[in-house]
Homo-oligomer: A and B are copies of this chain.
């Protein structure tokens, strides 16, 4: 299982949460500030975040915004001791996974964290597949991409040739290159490959 990142400037809380999750076999990493986590974060950092709202220095919300801006897609569970509805609403609408008030129920929190970790693992698997597709897409030339778009739009070769003002034979060549580079054998497979990503 991947790691739960606990970000809280109160060492006592980090320790208590660390204890709780380690006792449930959830790997934990503790961070004493938003800044320290942000510095250590890399696009391939996996797992989920348990993030305190109020912290000295950068707040949990600000860290969340900065992570989003950097393309981080890890599930984030906010922890807060002083429930503020507008903050909760805006965090959830931005894509936070959960918003939990202290004091919380231990078992419930553990369950939510485990679900979030599973979600992250699945999401990373999906994205790994998509990255492979994106890498293959990047090897296409402009013309090949144009032809591909018309192919997955369902146009016949002769129509594509018309629309691009080139001969059918040339379309066939590009089409064949696209299939080869994208590692598919039929237009239908290509369509499915691209339908899963856009």
Residues on A lying within 8 angstroms of B by beta carbon are 80, 83-86, 88-89, 92-93, 98-101, 151-154, 156, 184-189, 191-192, 195
Contact = CB atoms under 8 A, between A and B. Distances in A.
Nearest to A97: B93
A100 B154 CA distance: 46
Contacts of A93: 92, 98
A88 B93 CA distance: 11
Nearest to A82: B85
Contacts of A185: 154
A152 B85 CA distance: 46
30 contacts: A80-B85, A83-B83, A83-B86, A84-B85, A85-B85, A85-B88, A85-B99, A89-B92, A92-B92, A92-B93, A93-B98, A151-B188, A152-B188, A152-B192, A153-B188, A154-B184, A154-B185, A154-B186, A154-B188, A154-B189, A154-B192, A156-B186, A186-B187, A187-B187, A187-B188, A188-B188, A188-B191, A191-B192, A191-B195, A192-B195
A84 B156 CA distance: 58
| 9 A-B pairs with least C-beta separation | A83-B85, A195-B195, A154-B188, A154-B189, A92-B92, A191-B191, A154-B186, A89-B99, A187-B188
A100 B186 CA distance: 51
Nearest to A89: B99
A161 to B, nearest CB: 16
A79 to B, nearest CB: 12
